[in-house]
Amino acid sequence: MNKIALDYLNAPITYYRTRRLPQHVAVCSSATHRIMAEFVLPDVPVTQLLVRTRESIQIYDGPINSNGAISLRKAELFGDVTDLRICPLYSPDGSIVVYTFEKKVMSIHNTATGAQLFTLPIGDAEYVEFSPKGTFLVTWSRPAKGSATAPASGDNGNFRVWSSSTGALVTAFSLKVYKAQSIQWTANEEYCFRLVTNEIQIFRGDSLTVPIDKVYHKGLTQFQVTSTVTPYVSVAAFNPESGGKPARVTLFRFTPKSSTDAAVVAVTTTEESEKTDRATSVEGPVSSRTIFAASEAKLMWNAPGTALLVYAQADTDATSYYGATGLFLLQAHTDAAIKVGCVLQISLCTDPSNVFFHSYQRV
């Protein structure tokens, strides 16, 4: 990479260029008006804008030169985008982008060059998402007609996990109805959690075939795990109101075991393993909270995993056309909770040192 020669007389230009190109840093002497030191930092990713029109997909590269101009790198990536099934999806690090076409293969491209890396033999995907570090690509397709669990494309399940680097199928499950956050990873992808009937299965991040443990909780429909692993992973399980019983949020604690202990606590799906006594790494319920008038909830952990926001909602309410809403703040290690009334929108502070949140209420 070429270095930029700058001096004090061009200070305004110097400032503008270094803002646009943070990898170039020049230090000038206020006494001599000359450059004292010059640094070239590692490359930073280029901002990329993807625009879908009626005729094509256009990709714009952001400010990558000294004048900060935005250039159209490739005006037409595909000749026909009328059958683009869902919006293109970038990986968390922005290195690859996924295009899903109707009744065609799924196409994965390098964002820097636009070159196609590989394709996935699936053209019926309706939901696509990446794992936190972009190691895995998750797809869901509707089950084949006439079967509640049979996949539409002929492999072992309609809820599939792929390797984003090779395109290989890692594992596949059966999921009749898609639910957001049905599969979750910790931030470092060391552990993976999957929602099934009445339980949450726990896998090692590099082995998604056999669970190593589970959280059993009858009637749960949603869950959310903390992004942190140490000293433990907190798991929030939500049970909606049913049969006259109020909704409930229950907190569990999963403490990762060492590799030696993991062999002892490994869980299999055979009946014999269910009958054997085993030391579990799941504790709980640690705490719980009853919530009235809640058919679904949005669960949000703060960054350290010490507090949980529960945005509860019900479709019907005798006092409001908009239904019932409620906001609850739960502590991971105690039963303490704070309740806020009717709420329309919330956002959580991402600062790890705080648990602040902002809510918007109807007056």
Which one-letter DSSP state was computed for residue 277? -
Count of C-beta atoms within a 10 Å radius of residue 324: 18
Closest-CA residue to 89 (of 138, 56, 46): 138
Q: How far is CA 310 from CA 178, 184, 296, 330, in A?
A: 21, 18, 10, 8
Alpha-carbon span 66 to 4, nearest angstrom: 10
Predicted local confidence at residue 274, as pLDDT = 42
Closest-CA residue to 124 (of 91, 150, 151, 147): 151
Would you kindly state where each structural domain of the chain is located, as residue ranges?
Answer: 8-40, 83-178
Predicted local confidence at residue 132, as pLDDT = 94
Predicted local confidence at residue 362, as pLDDT = 53
Q: If 0-12 CB within 10 Å is exposed, 13-18 middle and 19+ buried, where does residue 99 land?
A: buried
- Report the SS3 class of residue 17: helix
**Cβ(60)–Cβ(72) under 8 Å?**
yes
Alpha-carbon span 87 to 93, nearest angstrom: 18
Alpha-carbon span 36 to 29, nearest angstrom: 6
Q: Which residues pair with 254 in a beta bridge?
A: 233, 282
Predicted local confidence at residue 123, as pLDDT = 77
Helix (H) or strand (E) holding 16: helix 11-20
Question: Could you tell me which residues come within 8 angstroms of residue 284 by beta carbon, excluding any fewer than 6 positions away?
Answer: 215, 235, 250, 251, 252, 253
What are the pLDDT tens digits along the chain (363 aa)? 333 333 333 443 333 334 444 455 555 555 555 555 555 545 556 678 888 777 777 777 776 554 556 666 654 455 566 677 778 899 998 889 998 887 778 889 888 778 889 999 887 888 999 999 999 999 998 887 654 444 444 446 899 999 999 999 999 998 888 888 999 999 999 999 999 999 999 999 988 989 999 999 999 999 999 988 878 899 999 999 988 889 999 999 998 876 545 444 444 444 444 433 344 589 888 888 888 878 889 999 988 888 888 888 887 766 666 677 888 888 776 665 566 666 777 777 666 555 555 555 554
Give the E-state strand segments of 7-157 in sequence order. Answer: 24-28, 35-40, 48-52, 57-61, 71-74, 84-90, 96-101, 106-110, 116-120, 125-130, 136-141
Fold that domain 83-178 belongs to in CATH: Thrombin, subunit H (2.40.10)
- Report the SS3 class of residue 316: coil
Predicted local confidence at residue 162, as pLDDT = 95
Alpha-carbon span 271 to 199, nearest angstrom: 16
Predicted local confidence at residue 244, as pLDDT = 84
Alpha-carbon span 211 to 201, nearest angstrom: 6
Predicted local confidence at residue 114, as pLDDT = 80
Helix (H) or strand (E) holding 163: strand 159-163
Predicted local confidence at residue 77, as pLDDT = 56
